[in-house]
A = this chain, B = another copy of it.
Amino acid sequence: MGKYHADIRDINFNLFDVLKIQRLKQFGLEENDYKGIIEEYNKFVENEIFPSREPSDVHGVKMVNGNVKVAPELHTLQKNFHDNGWFALGFDADIGGTPVPEALYTSCMSLATGANCAWMMYPGLSRAAMNVIRLKGSDFMKTHIMPKMMSGEWGGTMCLTEPGAGSDVGALKSTAKPIAGGKYAIKGTKIFISSGESDLYSNNIHLVLARTPEGGEGTKGISLFVVPRFKVNDDGSLGGNNNVQCSKIEHKMGIHASATCEMQFGQTGETEGWLIGDEFEGMSTMFIMMNEARLYCGIQGESQANLAYLMADQYVRERVQFGKELIHHPDIRRNLFRMRAMSRGMRALCMYTADLFDKVHETGDHKYEGLIGLLTPICKAYCSEQGFQVAVEALQAHGGYGYCTEYGVEQFVRDTKIATIYEGTNGIQAIDFVMRKILKDGGKAITALSGEIIASVGSLDEAVFKKEKDLFGKVLMSAQATMQHLSGLAQKNQFNLVLQHCTDFLQFASQMVVAWRLMESAKIAQTKLSAATGDEKKYLESKIVDFKTYCAHYLIHNLSISKTITDYGDDVTALEL
């Protein structure tokens, strides 16, 4: 097993040099306080989370006498995570949290996720469920349920998918019938429920999508319910069995430590739940969790890519072949530069997006909300896809050892893959991106973003970045042509043609955005370079190289991707398959 590594310098550069989170005075903390938090958090990741990664993968999740048991390591880890206050990080103080800038919270969560993605899904889902309860829950939920989740006694889940309703959530069949006390009887089967059941928690709080008697077909007839595994008495104490059962644990390619459950509600007796949010507003209420979960999928790719890259970096510095360390072989060295540029590029994107949440509060400017909407599918799809590909490259850099479980790198390949699928497949993300975030938006958000990128490219120093400036200029022109092409198709109602190009255009736009974020970093690094020495100078130079590498190996493909869309887009629905 390779050692744990973290590129704290790059995280700090993003936080303090690029995003300047020290500007956010409402948290009452200074730059050094934030750096201290990251340092302490990272120690916890290195000493407690990373060591659990491989054993909890090997152990997996087991059904013992009808109860779901996770790896023993995870019990200690989970307890220490809460006891050390790390679960509370990023929550508001009024519920016992430690509020910090969103980008800082995201950096910490990324370190934890990279080190054991499968385990991190337990606290991650609890957090997402808590956020729904905070925003939409009743006083009872806030008083008697949320604190138990905050302390780690109870966990949370989101229950959307059913056997016949995957991407098509609106096809779900679960029902919710009003019963006494303003409650509902929930009945149905949910599948692929992460953290659906486990012995990490004494109770699970399921957020379940179901249809009330008046709920019509499709997504518009769906409402959201809070459904505990064990009933919660009026005084908040644990009540009796609520007839919620895990009927099956899925065997999966990866994230073995995460319990992916088939859940039965109301099959062995009545299952009680409470409506949360308004009736028929289930989808929009659930989207509070979904958007968070989608960004988090991006982090799953980004974080594991960054750790996999650093483990590959360690390996190629140690392994000698043909009389020198692998890192000195040009082909291997090229691959490492590619992996670094991509991993750091994804980090820059995810942290930038996280910071936009603070910008919304800071400025009240709606444009940041539009930008978050636009960047959510990019973070989700691009970082999960490319995070997987970096994991594959990291495995490859290890040669035969990488294919063996012993070095721990093949686990990244198996674990990252899920992020391209759940919380809306990457195909669904691409459709959301083009159809809703661009076309339905009337191009507002993307035009604003493009304007910013154009200005930024315009001020790029030609003396250092001549080739990159030329390339980016061409990419921006092809971006305009491609968007005109797509909106032209939409105006002619040729939506099949638009739909078949969504995946390509999402990749195009993602690479433009990641290149832009790396460019911003490179510019800042350049301004600081003359005053820097030693390791700091090497680090700043690496930021310039990252941008150049990304241009040469990724952004450059935008020139051909745009041609696929505009010049070679035969209508696939008109062709026999």
Say yes or no: A321-B167 contact (C-beta < 8 A), given A556-B563, A568-B467: yes
Q: Is A410 an interface residue (CB 8 A)?
A: yes
Cross-chain contact of A252 among B322, B323, B403 (Cβ < 8 A) = B403
Total chain A interface residues with beta-carbon distance under 8 A: 88
* Binary contact readout A299-340 vs B (1 if CB under 8 angstroms, 0 otherwise): 000000000000001000000111100011111111111001
* Binary contact readout A398-417 vs B (1 if CB under 8 angstroms, 0 otherwise): 01101111100010011001
A425 to B395, CA, bound (A): 12
* Binary contact readout A376-404 vs B (1 if CB under 8 angstroms, 0 otherwise): 00000000000010001001100110111
Interface-lining segment among A17-25, A237-245, A281-289, A538-546: A538-546
A421 to B576, CA, bound (A): 37
| Distance between A497 CB and nearest chain B CB, rounded to angstroms | 8
Point out the residues of chain B lying under 8 angstroms from A320, CB to CB. 164
Residues of chain A having any CB pair with chain B under 8 Å? 161, 164-168, 170-171, 191-192, 250-254, 260, 313, 320-323, 327-337, 340, 388, 392, 395-396, 399-400, 402-406, 410, 413-414, 417-418, 420-422, 425-427, 430-431, 467, 471, 496-497, 499-500, 502-503, 538, 541-542, 545, 548, 551-553, 556-557, 559-560, 563-564, 567-570, 572-573, 575-577
A392 to B334, CA, bound (A): 24
Point out the residues of chain B lying under 8 angstroms from A399, CB to CB. 166-167, 421, 425
Interface core residue of A331, A399, A551 (most chain B CB under 10 Å): A331
Point out the residues of chain B lying under 8 angstroms from A328, CB to CB. 573
Task: Name 27 A/B residue pairs within 8 A (Cβ), A-sorted.
Answer: A164-B320, A192-B400, A253-B395, A253-B403, A329-B427, A329-B499, A330-B496, A330-B500, A330-B573, A331-B500, A331-B503, A333-B577, A334-B500, A334-B503, A334-B572, A335-B427, A337-B572, A396-B426, A400-B422, A403-B421, A410-B417, A467-B568, A538-B576, A541-B576, A548-B568, A553-B568, A559-B560
Cross-chain contact of A251 among B164, B166, B392, B404 (Cβ < 8 A) = B404
A78 to B552, CA, bound (A): 49
Cβ B321 vs Cβ A168 within 8 A: yes
A335 to B396, CA, bound (A): 25
A413 to B389, CA, bound (A): 13
A381 to B393, CA, bound (A): 14
Cβ A572 vs Cβ B253 within 8 A: no
Point out the residues of chain B lying under 8 angstroms from A545, CB to CB. 575-576
Point out the residues of chain B lying under 8 angstroms from A340, CB to CB. 577
| Chain B, Cβ-Cβ closest to A328 | B573
Point out the residues of chain B lying under 8 angstroms from A403, CB to CB. 252-254, 417-418, 421
| Distance between A492 CB and nearest chain B CB, rounded to angstroms | 15
Interface core residue of A335, A403, A406, A567 (most chain B CB under 10 Å): A403
Classify the interface of chain A: helix, strand, loop or mixed: helix
Point out the residues of chain B lying under 8 angstroms from A418, CB to CB. 403
Point out the residues of chain B lying under 8 angstroms from A164, CB to CB. 320
Point out the residues of chain B lying under 8 angstroms from A413, CB to CB. 253, 417
Point out the residues of chain B lying under 8 angstroms from A170, CB to CB. 322
A528 to B392, CA, bound (A): 42
Say yes or no: A337-B577 contact (C-beta < 8 A), given A251-B406, A467-B567, A499-B330: yes
Cβ A410 vs Cβ B253 within 8 A: yes
| Distance between A255 CB and nearest chain B CB, rounded to angstroms | 9
A164 to B392, CA, bound (A): 23
| Chain B, Cβ-Cβ closest to A332 | B427
| Distance between A1 CB and nearest chain B CB, rounded to angstroms | 12
| Distance between A534 CB and nearest chain B CB, rounded to angstroms | 12
Cβ A564 vs Cβ B569 within 8 A: no
Cβ A404 vs Cβ B250 within 8 A: yes
Point out the residues of chain B lying under 8 angstroms from A410, CB to CB. 252-253, 417
A542 to B576, CA, bound (A): 7
Point out the residues of chain B lying under 8 angstroms from A388, CB to CB. 392
Cβ B253 vs Cβ A405 within 8 A: yes
Point out the residues of chain B lying under 8 angstroms from A253, CB to CB. 395, 403-405, 410, 413-414
